[in-house]
Amino acid sequence: MDFRFPDSPLEVAKPSSIQFGVLSPGEIRQMSVVEIEQSRSMLNGKPVRGGLSDPRLGPIDRYKGCETCANNLSECPGHFGHIELAKPVYHVGFMKTVLSIMRCVCFSCSKILLDKEHVKFKQALRIKSPKHRLKKFVDACKNKTKCEGGAEIDLRGQASDQPVKKIRGGCGAQQPNFSIVGLELVAEYKSQRKKYDEEWLPEPAERKQSLTAEKVLSVLKRISDEDCQLLGLNPEYARPDWMILQVFPIPPPAVRPPAMMSSSSMSEDDLTHQLSMIIRHNENLRKQDRSGSPAHIISEFTKILQYFVATYFDNSLLGLPKAAHGSSGRPINQ
C-alpha cells in the first residue's frame, strides 16, 4: 500500500500550556522566513523566489526538500512568510471588537472616557470576565460626549485653607459616535449648539467622517497598558492596535496546495489566487504613495486592497461582491 504521508519519525513535542492571543506585527515578522513581494508563484514551471511558492516556505514537489528545514514534502510542517502592507487595513474578524474599544476611549487622547470615580467604572472593575467587562465599559461610555478621563487635578489654591478638591482632568475633546459602514469605521459628531444658543463650542469641519485603518491605528496605539487591562485586554498578548493589519502573514503551501492539472501544469489554490491579488494591489498602492499621488487616489487604492484582504478572510460578507477568479469568474472559496 502506498502511503503518501506516513507517520513522522520526528520527536513529538509535548505542550505544557496554550496561550491564545493576537499576533503583533513584530511576531509576524519574527516567525516569517521570507518577505513575499512577487505576485507570481511559478515561472517556467519553477517556483519564483520571493513569490507565493518560494522554496523557503516549504516544498510543493515530493522530490524536493525545503530550503528552510531541509525536510521533504511529508516531513516539512511548512513555514510562514509575510507581506509588508503599504497602508494599514482593517481585519474583518476584529472590527466589532475595535468598534467597542473606540467607543470606550477618547478619540483625541486615547484615555478611557469614564471618570474612575464614577459608579459605573467601579461596577465594571468588579466584573472578572474580560469580555463582559468590555461590554460594561461600552455601555457606560455610550452617552459620553466629551473626554473626562486622565490624571487627577488639585483645584485648591496654594494660599487656600479649604479642603482638597480633586477632579479627573480629561482633555475635554468632543467625542463622536462610531459605527461600522461596509469595511470601515465612521465617526459622526452631534451638534453641540442648542436652540437659541448663540455661544457654542467650535465643531469639527466634517460632521461625519470615514475613518481609515491608519487613523484608527493611531488612536489604538496611544492606549496605555493599564487601560488595556481595564478594558479586558492583556497587553502582553492582545493589544488593540494589533487588531489592525500592518503586516500580513502568508501561510505555507501545505495550507494551500496546488492542484495538478497534468504532468507539467498545476492550478493555483483559491487562497493562493487571493493572496496574489493582495500582493498585486498592495504594490499598486505603494507605487501611488511613493509617487505622491493625491489623498483621494491613495484612498481609492487603499479601499481596493481592503476589499481583497477582507474577502480573503471571508468571501461571504454581506453587501460585498464575492471575489472571483479573473479568467473563469468562479467565486473564490474559503
Question: Please, what are the domains in the chain?
Answer: 95-174+211-244 (no CATH), 269-334 (4.10.860.120)
Confidence at residue 227, expressed as pLDDT on a 0 to 100 scale: 95
Query: What tens digit of pLDDT does each residue of 197-238 get?
Result: 554 555 555 688 999 999 999 999 999 999 999 999 999 999
As given in the structure block, the three cell numbers for residue 62 are: 515530493
258/14: higher pLDDT: 14
C-alpha separations of 175 from 23, 95, 148 in Å:
30, 19, 11
Element (H, E) at 19: none
Reference 185, options 103, 265, 116, 246; nearest CA is 103
**Mean pLDDT, residues 240-257 taken together:** 95
Query: What tens digit of pLDDT does each residue of 144-200 get?
Result: 888 875 555 554 545 555 555 455 557 888 999 999 999 999 999 987 655 545 545
